Amino acid sequence: MALPQRHRLKGQRVFDQVYQRGSRHQGPAMVLRILDAQPGLLPLEQQLHPPSPWRCGVVVSSKVHKRAVRRNRLRRLLHGHLLAQSIRAGGRSLWLLLSLKPGSADLPSQALLGECNQLLHQAGLTP
């Protein structure tokens, strides 16, 4: 399941900002980066959508798995999981970026989702 438009994080400038300035929470299989939103950096089509308390991007590079089908499955798995979570932004608007590390494609789905939960909790975004 893909994230709805209001929760998608897009744009090279946006990703660059999150990579450079975002706070980082790291686990064995993935990295979560968080940055306060800067709506002026969003592409124009996203600026037209209503603001959301959080927007998220999931990065699954070819180092994680060579086959695009497997990378897309991992991305959809994490998108669906993020939608099911009750992410609390604390009254502010946040940008989240989940990056999978090489070797994470070999882990069972439950292990990846558990680590995602742990990182969200560590960042103070879930109860």
- In DSSP notation, 54-109 reads EEEEEE--TTT-S-HHHHHHHHHHHHHHHHHS----TTS-EEEEEEEPTTGGGS-H
User: What per-residue confidence (pLDDT) applies to 127?
Assistant: 79
Give the tens place of pLDDT for each residue, 70-107.
999 999 999 999 988 888 877 788 999 999 999 999 99
Average pLDDT over residues 63-69: 95
- The answer to which of 11-20, 36-45, 74-83 has the lowest mean pLDDT is 36-45
Q: What share of the chain is helix, strand, coil (3-state, %, to 5)?
A: 45, 20, 40
* Architecture of the domain made up of 5-122: 2-Layer Sandwich (3.30)
Mean pLDDT of 99-119: 94
Question: What size, in residues, is the chain?
Answer: 127
pTM (two decimals): 0.89
**Mean pLDDT over each residue of the chain, to the nearest integer:** 89
pLDDT at 39: 78
Does residue 46 surpass a pLDDT of 80?
Answer: no
Q: Where are the domains of the chain?
A: 5-122
Q: Is the pLDDT of residue 64 over 90?
A: yes
